Amino acid sequence: MKPKEMQKNKSLARGEQSPRENDASMKPPVNPGMVRGGSGQRGGGHPGMGAMIPAEQPREFKGTLRRLLQVLRPHRIALLMVLIASMLTTVFLIVTPKILGRAIDIITVAVTSRIAGVSDPIDYKALLRILVIVGCIYVISSFFNWLGGYVMAGISQKISFSMRQSIDRKLSRLPLRYFDSTPRGEIISRMTNDMDNISMTLQQGLTQVISSVTTLVGILIMMLTISPLLTLIGLITIPLAAIVTAMIAKRSQKYFAEMWASTGHLNGHIEEMYTGQTIVRLFNRQAQAGEEFERENQILYKFSFKAQFVSGIVMPAMHLIENLN
């Protein structure tokens, strides 16, 4: 071996970089997803991880809805049980205030008569009977509410289980170029975060939609039976509430999409840093990896804050409109 080559090998053994490696035009053979562009921008890494791609939006809402219905079709009997349980729960809760109104009428008549100087004692037997009926309704309503939640939890978890299996089979059939161009953290995020979101949406969102629609129809019928004029006055603010909710939902949807995209970027960075820790230390890239983590973490914080803040405006806005009404 020549003396120059021996000197070069000794320098490399001590951790020194050769002039070829120090050359700015020669990049070390690090995983492209590990070290990305300079500060202040997200670039130079994996496509889809380094560059800030716009969050994915459903290409076709009807097609997505059709696929969701196909997924739910094998569970249609259980979904029918959830629908009936949610409707019964809502109906019982709507009927209860009207029954309690009879108890209030009994007390009001007795108090008014006593003020007028007429001795009309409170009918405690009728009052007790009404309270027993209301108590039974609350127990039955709670049972149906529990039953609907239990069945819906089973449906959502079974769907999530089958979708994870489908994703696993799909990943085994994908070509290698997909894994070369897609960050591993983003793939993991699809199988974990996205699946959790679907499960949560099915478990909570579907039952809430059924309950909300049933409550709206039931309360509207109840209000019409009590006072049609007051019902029309109360309905004036419904278009305003719908417009405000749609505007807030449109804005928050964008931020939530960006939040989950940023979550995938951060997961990809963390996964690549830990699995490639040997390479990172070999080329002394700890500082750059830390800076990249801080950058990704700040971006995730920004979009998470905006998504939670904007979505949290819905209830205060609804209370404001309700008070105006």
pLDDT in tens, 72-89: 888 889 889 988 998 888
Whether residue 167 is found in the same domain as residue 313: no
89/221 same-domain check = yes
Whole domain around residue 315: which residue ranges?
233-325
Q: Is residue 30 part of a domain?
A: no
Does 26 reside within a domain? no
* 290 in the same domain as 156: no
CA angle, 223 as apex, 217 and 224 as ends, to 5°? 90
How many domains does the chain contain in total? 2
Whether 78 and 218 map to the same domain: the answer is yes
The overall average pLDDT reported for the chain is: 76
Distance CA 123, CA 138 (A): 23
Using the 8-state DSSP alphabet, how is residue 174 labeled? S
Q: Supply the angle between the helices 314-324 and 238-275 in degrees, to the nearest 10.
A: 170
pLDDT in tens, 28-71: 333 433 333 333 334 334 433 333 334 444 556 677 778 888 88
Looking at the fold, whether 176 and 269 belong to one and the same domain comes out as no
Whether residues 268 and 323 share a domain: the answer is: yes
Question: Which of 207, 226, 245 delimits the end of a domain?
Answer: 226
Is residue 115 domain-resident?
A: yes
d(CA 190, CA 192) in angstroms, rounded, equals 6
Note whether 237 and 155 are within 8 A (CB): no
Q: Which of 269, 129, 249, 254 is nearest to 185 (CA)?
A: 269
Tell me the whole-structure pTM to 2 decimals: 0.59
Q: Is residue 37 part of a domain?
A: no
Say if CB 300 and CB 263 are below 8 A apart: yes
| Same-domain status, 194 and 265 | no
- Do 239 and 213 belong together in one domain? no
Q: Are residues 194 and 253 in the same domain?
A: no
- 283 lies in the same domain as 161: no
The most confident of the ranges 38-52, 60-74, 163-177, 180-194 is 163-177
Could you say which of 226, 246, 270 is where a domain stops? 226
Work out the angle between the directed axes of helices 238-275 and 286-311 (0-180°, nearest 10): 170
The Cα 81–Cα 78 span in angstroms is 5
The Cα–Cα gap between 153 and 157 comes to 6
